[in-house]
């Protein structure tokens, strides 16, 4: 099938909640703003609840609904499987899709364990030999200000990297009466703040610096150990409840760790969902011999740059409004000064993936990149369990 003379790629997406909505918006918007070599077609939306999935499908224009991800993968009109489910299902779905010859986009973190991530990376490497590609969804790489920061660092603007500081601060479960969800169940989520939001800053700092984290010393903390189970929640026993039941939280509420990068830089990381007043504050500051960059997602169109080579009398952080046509991705959007938001990074992700598939190259971040992040997360958990002992990250 072609649209305006361009071949189409049938998308089959598994999962339709928060991430499913973000991905649906991205697939739908990408061809409206970018000149793409492949046109995504929203072929099938997968979800166990047929009624809920059909409602979401209607909102975003998905052509059909499947209630079994195996049937979705088996469809001839699905060429790419987009995985937006909890982490405990990532490995099974991704490996089956790759073995069926389908490209894969998988949400982060890649898996719930290093063993699962290794199996997924191995399957992706094998599939790549036949032209089938896989990508993990660390979307903050596609925020234009952060893509610009990566460019500046790669060009040597900061000199040798010395110190990295990264935080991801949220407060959505700071209330002890916030209801229990699958994100608080280790069997489904793998970990808490560490994997949910900490994975982002682990990947992002490695992406920005071009270096790898080689070792960590960590602390994990759970502040609220039981939470109320909402009515009709089926994540635990599969049966409806009255709302009076309480469930044990089996993941961390906060993760803090020190780290060292392969180039010698030292780093501090903080990820918490208990930071009162912080809604989605992903903050990164990278200091080098010749300057520094600073970024806060709650002001996502701005990058701050300090040039340490300037005379002290007039040196200071420069505020860069990242909305010019020469900035990453922005030529496809609005005139300078007209801001974009959270959802646009998902569109950029779809665009980069489609371009890579059309040229037969591996899209980034690869499953191997996702595995590297998973190894850092595992080292953090190992260190925390061992009273913050310094723990090397396998390379």
User: Mean pLDDT in the chain?
Assistant: 95
Of 278, 160, 247, 272, nearest to 209 by C-alpha is 160
Same domain, 121 and 195: no
Predicted pLDDT of residue 233: 57
- Is the pLDDT higher at 388 or at 232? 388
The reply to whether 295 and 333 lie within a common domain is yes
Compute the average pLDDT of residues 66-79: 98
Helix (H) or strand (E) holding 169: strand 161-169
Determine, yes or no, domain membership for 133. Answer: yes
Q: How far apart are CA 26 and CA 35, in angstroms?
A: 14
Q: At what angle do helices 114-128 and 367-385 cross, to 10 degrees?
A: 170
Last residue of one domain, picked from the residues 94, 114, 139: 139
Helix axes 144-154 and 199-209, enclosed angle (nearest 10): 40
- Report if residue 148 sits inside a domain: yes
Instruction: Identify whether residues 149 and 161 lie together within a single domain.
Output: yes
Q: How many Cβ atoms are within 10 Å of 82's Cβ, its own excluded?
A: 30
Does residue 66 sit in the same domain as residue 181?
A: no
If asked whether residues 179 and 255 sit together in one domain, one would say yes
Task: Let me know if residue 394 belongs to a domain.
Answer: no
Run of H or E residues at 73: helix 69-74
Residue that is last in its domain, among 105, 139, 173: 139
Percent of the chain with pLDDT over 70: 97
Within 8 A by CB and 6+ apart from 129, the residues are none
Per-residue pLDDT tens over the stretch 300-318: 999 999 999 999 999 999 9
Whole-angstrom Cα distance, residue 12 to residue 77? Answer: 9
Indicate if the alpha-carbon torsion angle 275, 278, 281, 286 is positive or negative. Answer: negative
**What would the pLDDT profile of 115-169 be if each residue is shown by its tens digit?**
999 999 999 999 999 999 999 999 999 999 999 999 999 999 999 999 999 999 9
Residue 224: which H helix or E strand, with range? none
Are 353 and 378 found together in one domain?
yes
**Res 240: pLDDT:** 39
Averaged pLDDT for residues 76-105? 98
**Which pLDDT score is estimated for 297?**
98
Q: Can you tell me the mean pLDDT for 14-22?
A: 97
Cα distance between residue 84 and residue 90, in whole Å: 8
Predicted pLDDT at 1: 77
- Specify if 37 maps to a domain: yes
Answer yes or no: do 38 and 98 share one domain. Answer: yes
**Is 390 contained in some domain?**
no
**Residue 143 gets which letter from DSSP?**
S
**Residues 352-363, mean pLDDT to the nearest whole number:** 97
Identify the helix (H) or strand (E) that includes residue 166.
Answer: strand 161-169
**pLDDT tens digits for range 203-261:** 999 999 999 999 999 999 999 999 999 875 544 443 334 456 999 999 999 999 999 99
Instruction: Choose one of 71, 105, 139: the last residue of a domain.
Output: 139
Range of the domain at 230: 143-385
Element housing 354 (H / E): helix 344-359
CA 270/CA 282 separation, integer angstroms: 10
- Is a pLDDT exceeding 50 seen at residue 87? yes
Which pLDDT band, with edges at 50, 70 and 90, does 184 fall under? very high
Q: Kindly state the average pLDDT of the residues 327-355.
A: 98
Q: Does residue 112 sit in the same domain as residue 164? A: no
Residue 238 pLDDT: 39
Q: Are residues 213 and 336 in the same domain?
A: yes
Residues 149, 133: one domain? no
Phi-psi region of 147 (alpha: psi -120 to 50; beta: other; left: phi over 0): alpha
Please report whether residue 395 resides in a domain: no
Q: Is 361 a member of any domain?
A: yes
Identify the CATH number of the domain in which residue 56 sits: 3.40.50.720
CATH number where 376 lies: 3.30.360.10
Q: Are 219 and 388 in contact (CB under 8 A)?
A: yes
- The pLDDT value given to residue 5: 79
pLDDT at 244: 64
Cis check for the bond before 3: say yes or no (omega within 30 of 0).
no
Give residue for tokens 């918007």.
Answer: 29
Q: Into how many domains does the chain fold?
A: 2
Helix axes 90-99, 114-128, angle to 10 degrees: 10
Phi, psi dihedral angles at 303 (to 5 degrees): -120, 135
Closest CA to 302 of 337, 329, 274, 269: 337
Do 152 and 194 belong to one domain?
yes
- Contacts of residue 335, Cβ cutoff 8 Å, sequence gap at least 6: none
357 and 209 share a domain?
A: yes
Paired with 1 in beta bridges are none
Please name which of 52, 94, 103 lies closest in space to residue 69, comparing C-alpha atoms. Answer: 94
Residue 266 has pLDDT above 90, yes or no: yes
- In the chain the first and final C-alpha atoms are separated, in Å, by 43
């Amino acid at each position: 099938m072609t649209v305006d003379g361009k071949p189409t790629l049938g998308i089959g997406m598994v999962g339709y909640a928060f991430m499913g909505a973000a991905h649906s918006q991205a697939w739908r918007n990408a061809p409206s703003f970018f000149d793409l070599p492949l046109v995504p077609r929203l072929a099938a939306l997968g979800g166990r609840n047929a009624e809920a999935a059909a409602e979401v499908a209607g909102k975003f224009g998905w052509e059909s609904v499947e209630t079994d991800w195996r049937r979705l993968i088996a469809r001839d009109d699905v060429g790419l499987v987009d995985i937006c489910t909890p982490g405990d299902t990532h490995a099974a779905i991704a490996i089956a899709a790759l073995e069926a010859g389908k490209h894969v986009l998988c949400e982060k973190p890649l898996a719930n364990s290093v063993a699962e991530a290794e199996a997924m990376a191995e399957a992706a490497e094998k599939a790549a030999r036949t032209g089938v590609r896989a990508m993990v969804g660390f979307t903050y790489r596609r925020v234009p200000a952060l893509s610009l920061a990566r460019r500046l660092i790669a060009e040597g603007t900061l000199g040798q990297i010395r110190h990295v500081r990264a935080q991801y601060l949220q407060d959505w479960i700071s209330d002890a009466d916030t209801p229990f969800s699958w994100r608080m169940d280790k069997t489904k989520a793998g970990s808490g703040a560490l994997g949910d939001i900490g994975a982002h800053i682990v990947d992002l700092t490695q992406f920005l610096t071009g270096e790898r984290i080689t070792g960590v010393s960590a602390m994990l903390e759970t502040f609220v150990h039981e939470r109320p189970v909402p009515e009709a929640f089926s994540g635990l026993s599969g049966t409806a409840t009255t709302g009076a039941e309480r469930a044990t939280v089996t993941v961390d509420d906060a993760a803090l760790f020190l780290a060292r990068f392969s180039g010698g830089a030292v780093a501090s990381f903080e990820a918490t969902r208990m930071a009162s007043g912080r809604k989605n504050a992903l903050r990164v500051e990278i200091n080098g011999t010749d300057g520094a960059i600073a970024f806060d997602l709650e002001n996502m169109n701005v990058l701050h740059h300090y040039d340490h080579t300037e005379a002290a009398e007039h040196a200071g952080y420069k505020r860069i409004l990242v909305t010019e046509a020469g900035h990453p991705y922005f030529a496809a959007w609005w005139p300078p000064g007209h801001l974009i938001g959270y959802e646009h990074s998902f569109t950029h992700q779809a665009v980069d993936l489609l371009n890579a598939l059309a040229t037969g190259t591996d899209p980034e971040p690869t499953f191997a990149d996702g595995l590297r992040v998973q190894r850092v997360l595992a080292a953090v958990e190992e260190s925390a369990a061992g009273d913050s002992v310094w723990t090397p990250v396998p390379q």
